[in-house]
Amino acid sequence: MTDWRVLLTRPAEESLSLAASLSAAGIFSSSLPLLDIEPLPVTPEQQAVFRDLGRFCAVIVVSKPAARLALQQLDHAWPQLPWFSVGAATGQVLADHGLNVHYPETGDDSEALLALPALREAIARPGAQVLILRGEGGRELLAERLREQGASVVYLELYRRFLPSYAAGTLMQRIQLERLNGLVVSSGQGFLHLQALAGADWPAVAQLPLFVPSPRVYEMARAAGAEKVVDCRGASAAALLVALRSYSATTL
């Protein structure tokens, strides 16, 4: 057992899986999903991109929702090009469907992905084109770095994220009712939704330890006034467990 009592903010299904991993390690968690997913309408332009995947040297998938929605549109005659994912969980969704997937062994962020030798090799060819499958917005750093290395980038946005509707004061009420002493977000947008839901309570919420998945979200949280931010260097359950075990709730 540990003294951590943390709030999980991922979509409900993902929070359920993460909560099970934490419970097995003796860590209490409470779920308040701050991200919900809505697929975008399938357009002729989107269909055309999937029909012509062979023109890309690599396809990068940034999330599990993007992976699942992409697989719904793929037939079984996709070209044997390399696929990449930001994290292992997304990579597994693709691998389960027989795709050749590469992802970082450590770190669930753009920097770790960009360091993969397989990706560097894929974009080294002249006229390299990379397809990035994502939700609306996000991962701009990834495209910028790819362009700096000579590749052209095409985005295909498959879904949008939104903050579920909660009554004012819900976040602080949950924190106080369940005596929570830590918060977990899995993305930059998840953090923005946390801050938005906190509203006038943000100064108090900002005093709680906040576990984030990457240096980018760490800087975002610190700039917004979060006082105790821990970069887990990944969004996986394993990365979060390492971070929780590395700090005491009473001393962080």
- Encode pLDDT of 63-110 as tens digits: 889 999 999 888 665 668 899 998 888 899 999 988 889 998 876 677
Query: Is the pTM of the predicted complex or chain greater than 0.75?
Result: yes
The pLDDT, as a whole number, for residue 216 is: 87
The pLDDT, as a whole number, for residue 108 is: 67
Torsion, CA 35, CA 252, CA 107, CA 153, rounded to 10: 50
Give all domains of the chain, ordered by start, each with its CATH number. 5-34+167-246 (3.40.50.10090), 38-161 (3.40.50.10090)
The pLDDT, as a whole number, for residue 139 is: 66
Q: Whose CA is closest to 59, among 90, 105, 96?
A: 90
- List C-alpha distances in Å: 172 to 15, 220, 234, 245: 19, 21, 26, 25
Distance CA 41, CA 9 (A): 26
The pLDDT, as a whole number, for residue 75 is: 67
| Residues 187, 213 contacting (CB under 8 angstroms) | yes
- List C-alpha distances in Å: 247 to 101, 230, 231, 243: 34, 9, 12, 7
Instruction: Enumerate residue ranges in the chain where pLDDT < 50.
Output: none
The pLDDT, as a whole number, for residue 80 is: 80
The pLDDT, as a whole number, for residue 78 is: 66
Residues in contact with 25: Cβ distance below 8 Å, sequence separation at least 6, in sequence order: 2, 241, 244, 245
Distance CA 93, CA 72 (A): 12
The pLDDT, as a whole number, for residue 105 is: 82
The pLDDT, as a whole number, for residue 235 is: 83
Place of tokens 């793929």: 74
Distance CA 164, CA 10 (A): 11
If you count them, how many residues does the chain have?
252
